[in-house]
Every structure is written in C-alpha cells, then in structure tokens.
Amino acid sequence: MAVTDRDKPLVDRSASAVGVRRLLLLGGLLMVLAGSVSVFGHAFGALAVFAIFAVLACVGIAAIFLWSLGFVQFAERAADGSIAREFLDTASTGLIIVDRKGRVIYANQAYGDLTGSASPADVRSLERILSREPDASEPIYRLANLARGNGTGSEEFRLSRGLAANDKGARYYRVWVRPLGAASQGMQAWQIADVTADREQQELSFQELQHAIDYLDHAPAGFIATDERLTLAYVNATLADWLGIELGDFRAGKQSILDLVSDESRPLLDAGFDPATQPPVVDVDLLRADGQVVPVRLIRSAATGLSAAPGAWRAIVIRRGAEGQGAESGDAAETALARFHRFFNASPMAIAALDANGRTLRSNAAFSRLFGKDCAGGLAPVVDSVSSEMKEALTAALKDAVRGKGDIPTITVDIPGEPARTVRLYLSSLPERSGADAEAAYLYGIDITEQRALEEQFAKSQKMQAVGNLAGGIAHDFNNVLTIITASVDFLLLNHRQGDPSYGDLILIKQSANRAASLVRQLLAYSRRQTMRPKMLNLTDVIADMHLLLKRVSGDFVKLERRHARDLWPVMADIGQFEQVVTNLVGNARDAMPEGGTITISTRNVEAKEVRGFGYPELSDDDYVLVEVADTGTGMAPEVAERIFEPFFTTKEIGKGTGLGLSMVDGIVKQSGGFIFVDSKLGDGTVFRIFLPRHVPAALPAASQQAGGGIAKGEGQAATTMSAGAAGVAAAKLDLSGTETILLVEDEDHVRAGNVRALKMRGYDVHEAASGTEALEIMRSLGGKVDLVVSDVMMPEMDGPTLLKEMRREHPQLKFIFVSGYAEDAFSRNLAEDETFDFLAKPFTLRELAVAVKGALTS
C-alpha cells in the first residue's frame, strides 16, 4: 500500500539530529587523525595515511562479503524502529514528544488534526496551546509538574470550543503525559484524545436511566430489588411513599427487606430466591414508619445480568386491601380477596392446604415458622416434620381427611428442632376435589409449647406443694415429739454426771434427737416453713468470708474460683441459711468431680431487661442478684435434672445422702423470695443459678420500734425471732432464775408438763393452760397480773395469734413469746404490723427456754 502524506509525521527531527551528531563525531575523529599525522612529520605521515586507508579498505571489502553471505545485516535497528514509527505515525491519538526545553521533537498527524496545526511551523506543545484556556490550564499545569518530576498521569477537561478550526461546539479531551526514560535526556511524551463522543454517549445513557427511574418512581406499583442476603438494592418512590419513608434517606446495601416486613410475614421471605422451589407470588405485610401495616403482594423474579448474584431477586409490589380501594374501583371481590389474604397470612394459627400425599400447596407464615421452609414449600410432606412416634397417628389422620371423613380427632405432635415445639393439629377434609394435585385437606396448627411447659410446671408445683404441706405437717408434729425427748433427757442429765453408767446413753439419745431435729429443719426448709432471720446482705462479702470454709468443703483435688461483679446490689436473706445453700452446692459439685476439676462461684447484677434472655418463664421482669455455682463434673441427664429438687431423691449410694440437701436449698431460696434453676448435660458439667430479688433499703417507720424491747413485725419481712435483749442475755450467761408470773399455753400435755417443770425449777410462778380459751380465763382470774405469756402457735379452738390479739386489747404492754415448730412468718402475716413478740423454735432445750424467758422479761 502506498504511503500518503497523512501517514507521515507532521514533525520529525529525531533522525536528523542523530545524523548530525554522527557526522560531527566522524569529523572530529578525522581532525584528531590529521593532527596526529602532523605531529609525526612527513616521513611517517604519508605511511600513516596510507595505512589508515588500507585498513578502511580491508574493512569495507570484508563487510561487503559478509553482507553478501548474510552474516551481517545493515539497518536492522532501523527496520525494527520503522514498525513502531509506522504505528505512531498512523495512530488516531495525537502524540507529541518535546525535550526538556519544550521544543517539539516529534508530532504525528493526529496531533495536528486535534490541535488545528496545519503545517510543521504551526506545531506547538500542549503547554503553550492550553495555558490560556481557563478550563484546561490547571490540569495541564499539574501534568507538566508530574512530567518534570519523572511522573506519569492523565487529566480530562471540557472546552467550550474545540482546538481545531472546524470544531464549533464544546469538546471533551483527555491528555496523558509520561517521561521517555533516562536515555532520552528529559524528553516527554504527551498524548491527547478527543473523547467527546464517549461522554455524549454516557450522558445519553444517564439520561435514559434517569427517565427509567423517573418512570419507576411514578409508576402505580412499587418496585424492589434485593441481593441474595435480602439486602435492599433499590426501592422506588411509590413504595417509599406507601411506607412513609424519605427516598433520600434510603441507602442501597445498608438495609434488609426484613426490616420493612412484619414479624408474621418474615418466614415467607427466604434469603437466596430460587424460582424452582419458592413461590414467585407472596402476600406479606409491610410496616410503615409509624408502625401501621401495609398489605402487599410481591411478584418476584430472579435477578439477571452480569452483576446479579445467584439468589438475588426483583419484585413488583402491588398494594392489596387498602381502605376503600375496592369500593372506588367497583371490584368488591378483589377487596374481599385481599382481606382474606391478609387474614390468612397474619393469623397466629398455622394454616396449610394439603394435597392427597400430605404435601403443602399453600401455607401462611405461621406454618412456615413452625414446620420449616421445606415443608411449607411442598418439598417434604408434613409427616416428615414431626417426631417419629407421632408419624403413624398423623398419617392415619391425613388418610381420613383425604377420604372425606369428618370429626377427625385433634393430634398433639412434637416438632424436633432448636428449640423443639409442641403443636396441636386440627384436620378438616374437602369432599369435592378435582385432580390428584388439588387441595385434599386443610391443616391447622396451634403452638402450645409454652402452654404445655406451664401445665407441667403447674403440675410439678402442685405436687411439690402437696409434698411440702405433708413434710411441714410431719415436721410440726415431730418437733413436739423431739421437744419432749429433749426435755426428758435434760431432766435426766441433771441427775447423772460423767462416769455414771447411764450418762453415755443419755448423751447418745440427745445427739440422736439433735440429728433428728436437723432433718426436721431440712423438711421445714423444703416446705418453706423454717425460721428465717433475713437481713440486708452483700453476697460478695458473704462468699468472700466463706472462702476458707468452701476450700475445706471442695477438697484438695478441686480448684475453687470466685468471680464477682462490682457494685453488687444488696439482698434480703438469712446469712446462715444462705451459707448453708452455697456450702451444699459446693459439696455436690465436689462429689460430681471424683477426678478433680474446677468449681466457679460468680455473682453479678441482672437488670429487668436481661431476665427474658435466660429463658426461665417463672422469672418476672425485676432486678435480681445472680449467684452461679458451676462445675466441670460429670453432669446430669435431663430426667435426673428434672427431679433434682424433689425431697429424698438422690443419685448417691445408700448411706451417703438423704436426698434432702437440694430440696432444702430450693426451699431456702424460695422462702427468701428467689428462684433457683439448674442447667446440666452429661459430661459437660452443671450450673446452678440462684436469682435473689434486689433489695432497695428504706427507713423503718418509727412505730415499728417499740419501747418494750421486742422487735416489731417489720416492713417487707416477717417478725424477727428473738429480741436483742434475749440474745444479749444468752451471750452474757446471766442468772436464768426469776420469780415473775408466767402463763404457759400448750395443747400437747407432755410438752406443757416439761416446760412447766423447767420454769418452776428456775423459781418462776407458772400457770398452765391447754388452749387459748382456757388461757383467757386464767388471765381474768389472775386479774391480768401476768408478766409473760409463753404460747404455742397451732392450737385447737384458738390459735396463738388470736390469743395475742385478745390479750393485748386489755393489756397492751403484755410480753409474749410464741413457740412453734413452724417459722414465725407462717403466722405473723396474720398479725398487725406493729405487734411485737419474741419467738422460740421447736425443738428447744430447757436452757434455751430459760434464756428466751429471761430475755423477754428483762427487755
């Protein structure tokens, strides 16, 4: 192909510059040779010149022969350069090469066309051409600085008029610059391209996109697009207006569609949409910004395109059931259908239409939530979703429904999973069907998991209460027996000293009675009728004080750790009883780790908003202090953990446990107003959690402090047991004798006789009564001259609290001691808030009776 003038460079001074330099170099060399010849003189000069020409001739002849044979090729470098030169000369992008002084070394024809340079004389560098253009001067200045620092870069700018003479309108240009390298002695290559057509195409595409978006925004339907994770990628203005949100606040990729959907409709939307397994049409309820529900229908399709991920989808959103929509359009049937869909999807009852094979044809959100997505989508029959033991019964019920049978009995099934659910199912048949794939039956399901749990808890509570009442009644009667035994032994020990043959037997009887009394106290603790002396405690301090004791209880092979939160709230509890609770739990944890392990005791505050997170339905939404005793032992099976707090239930060997320890712990915690739970798995250790209610200290009313010395029945707790005066007397070991008049009221003859004898031995004037009515008669006969009344609580005809009320009407300052095998809070709640009395728990020794009487009289 012939080379035209357009294929030649507009300016090319690179080759001539190189030729001139070579000629100058050759001339200089010849001058040096000539000078050398003149130095050697005429004799050797001619010979030297002849030798030089001879060498040059030999070299030339050799070069000719080598070139003929193909061993030497001339202008090879020029041949390679011609390819690159031809590419640059014919390029559509303008190219200019300048030296460090800005002189043009090379410019192709495209450069001249773009800059309007018609001849070589008109060619100027881009710096000179664009330096006075306001829109281009700054970009060119930045590129020039980059080039001088051996940097590369590019800039794009817009000129109101093109550089060429025939460019009338605005033009867009892109300019590149880069240095040619160290060997080029500071030369720079500049390129310029006219990108006006590309920018106009982009603007046209953008305008078309804006028109499309404007069309979608003003369409009568909503449009939505999500990725495979249900993250919103697009929402049109119509849908935003329905939801009452500002479209300007919407940020693509920052919000999930689940944030706009009601809780009942969420199970209908799955991440990763698959048209083959998921219905394309879904009726859901969207939520407005003000919380109101907007029922809509989503018509979904899988997203397509190179940027669409598998599982992403787009949807047309059609509003259904709007107020007045059906009436305004005259389509009452459409409105009724919309209302039905809303009722169907929003129903808390699981509803599904089944075919003859028990597969789901249609279902609502509650059904999907209970039975799973595969079952709701018809990929698996309903029977596969229930536990194995209920499959046969459900299959038979489904067959009856398919055959058109009526009055099908309800079925209660368990659905495995995390968490497992219990569902009560109702089936109804459809007598008229057409085709094997038509709807054959309707299934309705009600989640009764919480109801069953409450029923089981209530049944267990009733059982435990019945056992507790039985244990409390036995303990009360047994305490009377133990009181008689203890008093009788004390009387015998007064006449037998150490060394007497009967002394050892009497001591053994007393020790056995004390042991029996301890068992009775455990029974009372389980039945929540034991004596409690609650006071405000900081559990961190209590457990810290118990550390040495707990170390001895845990043994040498177990590591004991304590973890306490700061600023622990106070609680109201009996410190002795609480210490017994912790000691028992640590002892059980030690027994569960025969090979050693770690016991961790931790405490922390639990605010009301955190309570539901534990999943214990018995806990109310209040503030608690949590005590956890955790071990790394063998753990317990679920059936063992369910019975762990029952009395006399134990997994230990015979003779190594009574089975009352944890039942006592349960009773103490609940009598303190708290809760205790156990979480355990076989081989994974056990955790006991104790929740004690937070106590907010408040000043006691002045009326509760009586001058008589007894302590009133205080606010928020039962009356205290023994007065401070009685405790002080017992501690100081004062003289326990006296001459005051005492009225002793006890319906148990042997108990009364022993107590009367013990007090008379101390010098008191004792009058006895077998009932409350008899005690009132004796009080009247004595003219009210009684210093102290010691009365049992549970008596026929008139109990102790009633007797106290009757006597205090005429004798307000009368001192009173209640004696009972129950805790004082079992009866003190029937007394007025300002009533004061002392309390003595059965069984008791003769000395304890004397100490209580002396303390009450001297207080």
Q: Out of 300-304, 359-363, 681-685, pick the least confident.
A: 300-304
Lookup: tokens for 684? 């994974």
Predicted local distance difference test score (pLDDT) of residue 269:
79
**Which pLDDT score, from 0 to 100, does residue 404 have?**
78
Q: In b/e form, how buried is each residue of 248-282, taking b as 16+ CB within 10 angstroms?
A: eeeeeeebebbebbbebbbbbbbeebeeeebeeeb
Cα gap 480→844, rounded to integer Å? 10
For the segment 521-533, what is each residue's pLDDT rounded down to a tens digit? 655 555 545 555 6
Q: Nearest-CA neighbor of 838 among 759, 733, 721?
A: 721
Other Cβ atoms less than 10 A from the Cβ of 65: the count is 10
Please give the pLDDT value at position 76: 46
The answer for residues whose C-beta is within 8 angstroms of residue 392's C-beta and 6 or more apart is none
Residue with more model confidence, 604 or 700: 604
Q: Are the beta carbons of 398 and 389 closer than 8 angstroms?
A: no
Q: Which helix (H) or strand (E) holds 362?
A: strand 360-363
Name the helix (H) or strand (E) containing 827: helix 825-828
Checking if the pLDDT of 353 tops 80, the result is: yes
568 vs 694: CA distance, rounded Å: 9
DSSP 436-458: TTS--EEEEEEE-HHHHHHHHHH
Q: What angle do CA 581, 582, 584 make, to 5 degrees?
A: 65
Sign of the dihedral through C-alpha 645, 646, 649, 655? positive
For residue 677, the model assigns a pLDDT of: 92
Q: What is the percent of the chain with per-residue pLDDT over 70, rounded to a whole number?
A: 73
Q: How confident is the model at residue 722 (pLDDT cuts 50, 70, 90)?
A: very low
Amino acid present at 34 = A
Residue 302 — pLDDT band, cuts 50, 70, 90?
confident
Average pLDDT over residues 225-252: 78
Q: How far apart are CA 238 and CA 219, in angstroms?
A: 7
- What would the mean pLDDT of 313-332 be, rounded to a whole number? 60
Which tops the pLDDT comparison, 427 or 407? Answer: 427
Q: Is the pLDDT of residue 330 over 60?
A: no
Question: DSSP alpha helices (H): ranges in 296-387?
Answer: 325-329, 332-346, 365-371, 373-376
The dihedrals phi and psi of 223, each to the nearest 5 degrees, come to -130, 140
* Rounded average pLDDT over 112-128: 81
Instruction: List the structure tokens of 494.
Output: 């007064």
Question: Is-contact 216 223, C-beta < 8 A?
Answer: yes
CB 180 within 8 A of CB 141: no
Instruction: Give the C-alpha separation, 337 to 332, whole Å.
Output: 9
Better pLDDT: 596 or 273: 596
Instruction: Give the pLDDT confidence score for residue 291 in this predicted structure.
Output: 78
Query: What is the greatest pairwise CA distance in the chain?
Result: 177
Confidence of residue 184 (pLDDT cuts 50, 70, 90): low
Q: How remote is the C-alpha of 269 from its chain's centroid?
A: 22
pLDDT given at position 600: 92
Count of C-beta atoms within a 10 Å radius of residue 509: 16
CA distance 685 to 633: 4
Q: Over the stretch 194-204, which tens digit does the pLDDT of each residue have? A: 888 888 888 88
For residue 730, what pLDDT is reported? 42
Instruction: Provide the H-helix boundaries in 377-439.
Output: 388-402
pLDDT at 315: 82
pLDDT of residue 51: 67
List the end-to-end C-alpha distance of the chain, in Å, as a whole number: 133
Model confidence over 429-471: pLDDT tens digits?
876 655 555 788 888 888 888 888 777 767 766 666 666 666 6
Structure confidence at residue 228 as a pLDDT band (50, 70, 90) = confident
Compute the distance between CA of residue 104 and CA of residue 41 in angstroms, rounded to an integer: 48
Q: Please list, in sequence order, all residues whose beta carbon lies within 8 angstroms of the beta carbon of residue 598, skipping any fewer than 6 positions away.
A: 558, 559, 560, 561, 631, 632
Position 499 pLDDT exceeds 80: no
Q: For residue range 51-77, list pLDDT tens digits in order.
A: 666 666 776 677 676 666 655 555 444
Please check the confidence at residue 35 and state whether its pLDDT lies above 90. Answer: no
Residue 610 CA to its chain's centroid (Å): 11
Cα 656 from chain centroid (whole Å): 42
Q: Which amino acid is at 689?
A: R
Q: Please give the pLDDT value at position 38.
A: 54
Given a cut of 50, whether residue 701 has pLDDT beyond it is no
Reported as a single tens digit per residue, the pLDDT across 602-657 is 999 999 888 888 888 888 889 999 999 999 888 888 878 877 877 666 665 544 55
Note the pLDDT tens digit of each residue in 787-818.
Answer: 999 998 878 778 888 888 889 888 888 999 98
| Alpha carbon 237 to its chain's center | 35
Q: Give the best-scoring range by mean pLDDT among 377-381, 390-394, 708-712.
A: 390-394
Q: Which of 174-183, 212-221, 440-449, 654-663 has the highest mean pLDDT?
A: 440-449
- H helix intervals, 631-783: 638-642, 661-671, 724-732, 749-761, 772-781
**pLDDT, position 484:** 79
Q: Which residues pair with 96 in a beta bridge?
A: 107, 190
Over the stretch 542-587, which tens digit does the pLDDT of each residue have?
888 888 888 888 888 888 898 988 889 999 887 777 887 888 888 8
AA identity, residue 58: C
Hey, how many other C-beta atoms are within 10 angstroms of the C-beta on 686? Answer: 23
The whole-number pLDDT of residue 53 equals 65
Angstrom distance (rounded) from CA 642 to CA 646: 9
With a cut of 80, say whether residue 370 has pLDDT above it: yes
C-alpha 674/C-alpha 677 separation (Å) is 10
Q: How many residues does the chain have?
A: 859
Q: What are 770-783's pLDDT values in tens digits? A: 888 898 999 999 98
- Of residues 85 and 148, more confidence is placed in 148
Look at residues 848, 856, 851 and name the one whose alpha carbon lies nearest to residue 483: 848
Query: Could you give the angle at the alpha carbon of 132 between the alpha carbons of 131 and 136, nearest 5°?
Result: 65
The beta strands (E) that lie in 195-307 are given as 222-226, 232-235, 281-287, 293-302
Cα R_g (the chain), whole angstroms = 52
- Whether 690 has a pLDDT exceeding 90, the answer reads yes
**DSSP-derived 3-state class of residue 529:** coil
Residues sharing a CB contact under 8 Å with residue 574, sequence separation 6 or more, in sequence order? 532, 533, 534, 535, 668, 672
Distance CA(291)–CA(447), nearest Å, equals 26
Residues 675 and 669 sit within 8 Å (Cβ to Cβ): yes
Comparing 19-28, 544-553, 827-836, which segment has the lowest mean pLDDT? 19-28
Task: For 729-750, write each residue's pLDDT tens digit.
Answer: 444 456 788 889 999 998 888 8
Task: State the DSSP H helix or E strand holding residue 691, giving kind and residue range, or none if neither.
Answer: strand 686-693
Comparing C-alpha atoms, which of 198, 124, 108 is closest to residue 163? 124
